[in-house]
Amino acid sequence: MLEKTPETTVNDTAHPFDRATQVTAVGGRWRGTASEDYFAFVGPFGGATAATMLRAIMVQPECAGDPLSVTVNLCAPVARGTFDLTVRLIKATRSTQHWMVELLQDDGVAAFMTAVFAVRRPSWSHQPATMPEAPPFDEAKPLPDSGIAAWVRQYQFRFVEGAPGYGNTPHDVPASAYSRMWLSDTTPRRIDFLSLLSMSDTFFARIFHVRGTIVPIGTVSMTTVFHADAADLAADDTTMVLGAADANIFTRASATRPASCGARAGVCSRPPRRWFISRPENRLSG
């Protein structure tokens, strides 16, 4: 359980991600700020919001174990400025904890998270999943700064397959939804639970790829399952992950998209090609 408790205060020289996801104790609650550095179209990038909420759990003194499964529901756009977070330990057993965080702004709950933490124990393990093929990070070409939204500039996207090429009109025939890319903070930062959670929301909406154009869309609910524990992440000591995203059902007013991140192959001191996270997604358009 190394590094399970992130710092609660950061200074000006801190990494932009740590500044953006900082929480401070205020009157029995926790306060965060919708970071301009990670702003999207109508609110802060959902990944940064989710990471802020997860940090609010991990700074609790009684927090034990590592995150296993996190569901964040983004109910309404988070407005510029500060927000308050309430943190509740719903249930603790000998080996698991169930947490809930609510993000409050003037007009009520704008987002909430439920999270299962567990003290992982040695057990049988087995991983038929293989890491997708990819050239090394340095050999993949960075996506030029698209300038679309502030948060996009906080990440380096190095596509290996399925790079975005969005136009003004939709394709006549739906294209593939599959993408594979290296992903890193623009200013490299060691991968931890907070950045993995944020990265799990960085995959451009699959509908953009399939339709070939940007449509109004927002993440409504996102579940991320963690396969690595803190010791794994510390041992891997990496700043980049290989991500793959796909989708196979786009239905009325919603699209579901599985996506996953794998560790960079060949870097880990532990057995490489470990999968860090996987998740499905439910995005609502409109």
Q: For binding to a copy of itself (CB under 8 A), which residues are involved?
A: 68-69, 71, 73, 75-76, 90-91, 93, 95-96, 98, 100, 102, 108-110, 112, 114, 116, 118, 120-129, 174, 177, 207, 210-211, 220-221, 223, 225, 227-229, 247-254, 256, 258, 275, 278-280, 282, 284-286
> Which is nearer to a copy of itself, 229 or 236 (by Cβ)?
229
Burial of residue 114 (number of CB atoms within 10 Å: 0-12, 13-18, 19+): middle
> Which is nearer to a copy of itself, 45 or 112 (by Cβ)?
112
CB atoms within 10 A of CB 268: 17
> Which is nearer to a copy of itself, 60 or 71 (by Cβ)?
71
Tell me the CA end-to-end span of the chain in Å, nearest whole number.
41
Cα–Cα nearest to 17, from 174, 239, 207, 226: 239
Q: How far is the CB of 221 from a copy of itself (least distance, A)?
A: 4
CB 183 within 8 A of CB 243: yes
> Which is nearer to a copy of itself, 110 or 194 (by Cβ)?
110
SS3 10: coil
Q: How far is the CB of 92 from a copy of itself (least distance, A)?
A: 9
Q: How far is the CB of 123 from a copy of itself (least distance, A)?
A: 5
- Identity of residue 200: S
Cα separation, 18 vs 189, whole angstroms? 10
Q: How far is the CB of 163 from a copy of itself (least distance, A)?
A: 19
